[in-house]
Amino acid sequence: MLKQLLAAAFFVLGGLSLQAQSVNEMVEEAKQLEKQMKETDALQKDKDILKIQPTELDALNQASQLSSRIGNRQKDKADKISYFNQAKSYAQEALKVDPNSAQSNLSMAIAMGRIALISGAKDKVAASKDVKKYAELAIKQDPNLAQGYHVLGKWNYEVANLNAFERGAAKMLFGGLPDGSLQNAIANYEKCRQLDPGFILNYYELAKAYKENDQQDKAIDVLKKALTLRNITQDDASIKADCKKMLDDLQ
Cα(85)–Cα(71) distance, integer angstroms: 9
What residue numbers bound the domain in which 60 lies? 17-118
Q: Are 30 and 39 in contact (CB under 8 A)?
A: no
Q: Is residue 161 part of a domain?
A: no
The CA-based angle 176-177-178, given to 5 degrees, is: 130
The number of folded domains in the chain is 1
Please give the pLDDT value at position 120: 84
What Å distances lie between residue 160 and 51, 84, 137, CA to CA? Answer: 42, 23, 21
Q: Are 183 and 145 in contact (CB under 8 A)?
A: no
Burial class (CB in 10 A: 0-12, 13-18, 19+), 244: middle
Q: Is residue 49 part of a domain?
A: yes
What one-letter code names the amino acid at 11? F
Residue 174 confidence class, pLDDT cut points 50, 70, 90? low
Q: Is residue 130 part of a domain?
A: no
Q: Is residue 62 part of a domain?
A: yes
Q: What is the pLDDT of residues 46-101, one digit of tens each?
A: 999 999 999 999 999 999 999 999 999 999 999 999 999 999 999 999 999 999 99
Q: What is the pLDDT of residues 4-54, one digit of tens each?
A: 544 444 444 444 444 556 999 999 999 999 999 999 999 999 999 999 999
**Of the candidates 185, 192, 107, 201, which has an alpha carbon nearest to the alpha carbon of residue 146?**
192
Q: Is residue 53 part of a domain?
A: yes
User: Given a cut of 80, is residue 177 above it in pLDDT?
Assistant: no
| CATH (domain of 64) | 1.25.40.10
Q: Is residue 153 part of a domain?
A: no
Please give the pLDDT value at position 141: 98
What percent of the chain has a predicted confidence (pLDDT) above 70? 89
Q: Are 204 and 239 in contact (CB under 8 A)?
A: yes
Please give the pLDDT value at position 166: 78
Q: Is residue 168 part of a domain?
A: no
Q: Is residue 106 part of a domain?
A: yes
